[in-house]
Structure 1
Amino acid sequence: MSYLALIGFLMMLVVIVLLFKNKVSTMFCFTVVPIIAAIVGGISLPKIASSITKGLAMTTPVALIMLFCMPFFMMMADAGMFNGIVRGILKHVNLTPPVLAVVTVIVAMITGLDASVTSVFLITIPLLLPFYKKLKMNTTLLVFLTSTGVINTYDVPWSARMLRAGSLIKGVSNAPMDMFLKMLPGQAIFTVVLFIFAALLGLKESRRIKASGETVAVGGRINTDDIKDDPELGRPKLFWVNILLTVLVIAALCALPEFPSYYVFAFGLVIGLSINYKDLKLQNKLLKKYATSLFPVMPAILLSGVVVGIMEYTGMMNAMVKTLVAIIPSSFGPYVYIIVAIFSTPLMFLFTNDTWYYVMTPIIGSLMKAFGVPMEVVVMALFMNMGAMLTPIAQPQIYIGLDLTHGEVDLPKYVKFSFAPIWVMSIVWIVIGLVIGTFR
């Protein structure tokens, strides 16, 4: 092993340990640790500066997307667009365990369109918990199915995960949207599988409830009166206008790849604010409110370019890959990324989202180049790190979901219930991608 490769692996280990132990911020890890590693590795200051510049050039467009996409969807949430969609679906639903299980996934997917795990838990669980209790259904199932809805919206092009993953792919215009379109056929199949799986879990609950001898009031509509818009910010009369604007923004992202994605979201944000909130003082108040949600995620995504730049342009990554190639048996080599993807669920107990995308994925991607597998294929295969929804190390919002059950579900109970199903879902996702060719 070369000295530079050793420094690279040690840097990776330090970043993982610091983030895992929650000793310092993600921004500190991405800003300070790689610089120290480069200096210890004997890299000259001009080379370090050049590497940082190139790395930040890769992540700046990604950070700009987040600068505008998060406020856009937060504005639509404030205006009541997501509430309106959920009300429209739920007011016509008859309650049975299989139906409620599928509805849980649907509601979580709808509220997950803003790419905020927090909002999914805050909306879905309080809304549906009374109906789970009415049907005597296991409330752990509610938290689990809400998490599956989160997982199924991982790959919206404006999510932090897609932006992280897209920043690793060079030479592709609008990489997050390119990835989304390539994974879309597999996503459609996976969504159908997920609905079937939810219905089967609902049927299993029905049998358990009947076997217990409990009397359950089955049938009736879901009362959506509790889904209320903000009295100051809600714009129910503009619901269809906001739906149309959102559809147009998403359509423009797909149909006009030559336009920078951040400009499309900026355009949508400006128009949306002008339509919903004509008072400039209120617009400025909302923008200040949304700005608080951009930290520290947006700076962390931007500064991840320092890690990528130092590893990629100082020769560190190349040295690390040569070491790995020498260790891995040649017969296993072409399949390493698939093996890692298959075991990604248990592996996520050792990683954060940042270390998975910015440490593990680049190294595996660079390694696979030696076996003729494009970086884009590797990134897509490793993208769906579903195990993140099992550990608060990677997804601390899980605690919010658990707290919303009023103590009925704790972390050990949730993990015990969810681990095997999520791992199976992850493997199904990989199999679908391999069969249709996305991950080959």
Structure 2
Amino acid sequence: MLALMGFLMVIVFMYLIMSKRLSAMTALMLVPLAFGIILGFGPDLGAMSLDGIKKVAPTGIMICFAILYFGVMIDAGLFDPLINKILKAAKGDPLKVIVGTAVLAGIVSLDGDGSTTYMITCSAMLAIHRRLGIHPMVLPAMAIMQNGVMNILPWGGPTGRVMSALNLEAADVFVPLIPAMIAGTIWVLFVAYRIGLKERARLGTLQMQDVIAETATAVVDIEAQKLKRPHLFWVNLSITVILMAALVREVLPLNVLFMIGTSLVLIINYPKIKDQQARIATHAANALPVIAMVFAAGIFMGIMSGTKMVDAMAGSLVSVIPSSMGPHLALITALASLPFTFFLTNDAFYFGVVPVLVKTAATYGITPAEIARASLIGQGAHLLSPLVASTYLLVGLNGVEFGDFQKYTLLWAIGTSLVMLAFSLAIGIIPF
């Protein structure tokens, strides 16, 4: 019953946001509360919700100060030289801009953190996409698809979980998957090229539109120019590089790093308290909806976990695999990782489902490392799950609806996983 209600809850949630009957934020809170009451957990829902909120609180804090940090950096003009160079290289060509966006997202994703990838990629590229009139879904699609591939890095999260759950090393799990990740990246660039061709056909090279856009935003640019701090470019760049290095090395928790960084760049770039307050007020409008979404997701996950719906869903999914398919369990795991990691959290899948699959696979001579690699294939589409907090940051930064974004990107993202799976089967790192 719990498993059935869990799947039904996710389906109802997806239907409500995709049909735009409810916003993602309200659906994340109201749907699990309704199902929790139906299941008889009413008195405990408050504690479950609070537990979920506590778990996502560090992410919410990080997103808040990261948006403020990069917002201040945009105001100060840190990304202006990069934007100008990309515009010059692209020469008004949407195809080059879109492919460049995918490449940039891949480079930034090396730090293994989705939120950072989205903030840096969007900070650098959003103005270019808007100036050229590129479809608003393209930038977040490129960012999340490329980050889905790079999410397999050992420090990205899922790989660390599965290595921990199965007591494996990176050499057993990650290193063999590198060729598949390269294949996945090539697929993302191919998608970028295809979309770029369509956008080029629709928009042309847009030299004339650039002039129109510059004229239309002249008044805004005058106000924005007052906030630029070109004389502090190297100072701001140094702080940002140090911040990213500290992030990769995990010198301090990510949220603490962004809190410290935001304080420093505000003081350095806008010494007057009045100016600091103005910058915070301006960017708070971008931060608040995203933070609210993250805490709403905490309620959703807290109730799913507290009611044991997640555990029941995991158990039921494993039980439907017939014994006759045992010799092909690695392939089944790879294919099943697509819906598993979409409807369940990474913790639920890698700590709950995968160990059960490993025990079953052992009777057919399939090693834990092979199951571990197969279980990571679904990461190509995982980030589009409503259970991934950083995705709400991405849609918030780009001003698009979550449901619309899923519909635009999901098939391409599933393609990423299938390409990685096909290549993995071809070279033998996942047995057929």
TM-score, structure 2 as length reference: 0.64
Aligned to 2:17: 19
Unaligned runs of 5+ in 2: 109-115, 165-169, 359-367, 386-390
- Kindly provide the CA deviation profile for residues 96-115 of structure 1, in whole angstroms up to 9, marking residues without a partner as x: 99967754645677999553
**Compared with structure 1, are the counterparts of its residues 429 and 324 closer, same or farther at alpha carbon in structure 2 (3 Å cutoff)?**
closer
Q: 2:380 aligns with which of 381, 384, 400?
A: 384
Aligned partners of 2:305, 2:99: CA distance in 1, in Å? 44
Q: 2:39 aligns with which of 38, 41, 54?
A: 41
**Compared with structure 1, are the counterparts of its residues 190 and 29 closer, same or farther at alpha carbon in structure 2 (3 Å cutoff)?**
same
Aligned to 2:81: 84
- Kindly provide the CA deviation profile for residues 200-234 of structure 1, in whole angstroms up to 9, marking residues without a partner as x: 879999xx99xxxxxx99xxxx99x9697921222
Q: 1:52 aligns with which of 49, 53, 56?
A: 49
Aligned partners of 1:376, 1:285: CA distance in 2, in Å? 49
Aligned partners of 1:268, 1:337: CA distance in 2, in Å? 42
- Kindly provide the CA deviation profile for residues 76-103 of structure 1, in whole angstroms up to 9, marking residues without a partner as x: 1121112222224554678999967754
Aligned partners of 2:196, 2:122: CA distance in 1, in Å? 28
DSSP 3-state at the match of 1:115: helix
DSSP 3-state at the match of 1:295: helix
Aligned to 1:123: 127
How far the C-alpha of 1:31 sits from its partner, in A, is 2.4
Aligned partners of 1:155, 1:274: CA distance in 2, in Å? 37
Aligned to 1:353: none
Q: 2:65 aligns with which of 59, 68, 82?
A: 68
Structure 1 residue 339 and structure 2 residue 335: aligned?
A: yes
Please tell me the residue identity of whatever aligns with 2:54.
A
Aligned to 2:27: 29
Would you tell me which structure has more helix in proportion to its own residues?
2
Structure 1 residue 309 and structure 2 residue 309: aligned?
A: no
Aligned partners of 1:194, 1:40: CA distance in 2, in Å? 44
Contact 2:76/2:229, CA 8 A, preserved across alignment: yes
Aligned partners of 2:96, 2:90: CA distance in 1, in Å? 8
DSSP 3-state at the match of 1:278: coil
How far the C-alpha of 1:151 sits from its partner, in A, is 3.2
Aligned partners of 1:399, 1:256: CA distance in 2, in Å? 28
Contact 1:117/1:397, CA 8 A, preserved across alignment: no
**Compared with structure 1, are the counterparts of its residues 296 and 153 closer, same or farther at alpha carbon in structure 2 (3 Å cutoff)?**
same
Aligned partners of 1:74, 1:379: CA distance in 2, in Å? 37
Aligned partners of 2:107, 2:163: CA distance in 1, in Å? 32
Deviates more, 1:11-20 or 1:99-108: 99-108
**Compared with structure 1, are the counterparts of its residues 268 and 48 closer, same or farther at alpha carbon in structure 2 (3 Å cutoff)?**
same
Aligned CA RMSD, in angstroms, stands at: 5.3
TM-score, structure 1 as length reference: 0.63
**Compared with structure 1, are the counterparts of its residues 370 and 429 closer, same or farther at alpha carbon in structure 2 (3 Å cutoff)?**
same
**Compared with structure 1, are the counterparts of its residues 240 and 95 closer, same or farther at alpha carbon in structure 2 (3 Å cutoff)?**
same
How far the C-alpha of 1:248 sits from its partner, in A, is 0.5
Aligned to 2:365: none
Contact 2:78/2:236, CA 8 A, preserved across alignment: yes
Aligned to 1:370: 356
- Kindly provide the CA deviation profile for residues 229-268 of structure 1, in whole angstroms up to 9, marking residues without a partner as x: 92122222222211111110111112135x2210011111
Structure 1 residue 241 and structure 2 residue 235: aligned?
A: yes
Deviates more, 1:333-342 or 1:274-283: 333-342
Aligned partners of 2:293, 2:140: CA distance in 1, in Å? 27
**Compared with structure 1, are the counterparts of its residues 170 and 102 closer, same or farther at alpha carbon in structure 2 (3 Å cutoff)?**
closer
Contact 2:148/2:380, CA 8 A, preserved across alignment: yes
Aligned runs of 1:404-419 on 2, under 5 Å? none
Contact 1:115/1:154, CA 8 A, preserved across alignment: no
Please tell me the residue identity of whatever aligns with 1:83.
D
Please tell me the residue identity of whatever aligns with 2:72.
M
Aligned partners of 2:95, 2:178: CA distance in 1, in Å? 26
Contact 2:53/2:299, CA 8 A, preserved across alignment: yes
Structure 1 residue 270 and structure 2 residue 263: aligned?
A: yes
* Number of aligned positions between the proteins: 370
Please tell me the residue identity of whatever aligns with 1:321.
A
DSSP 3-state at the match of 1:11: helix
Aligned partners of 2:410, 2:4: CA distance in 1, in Å? 34
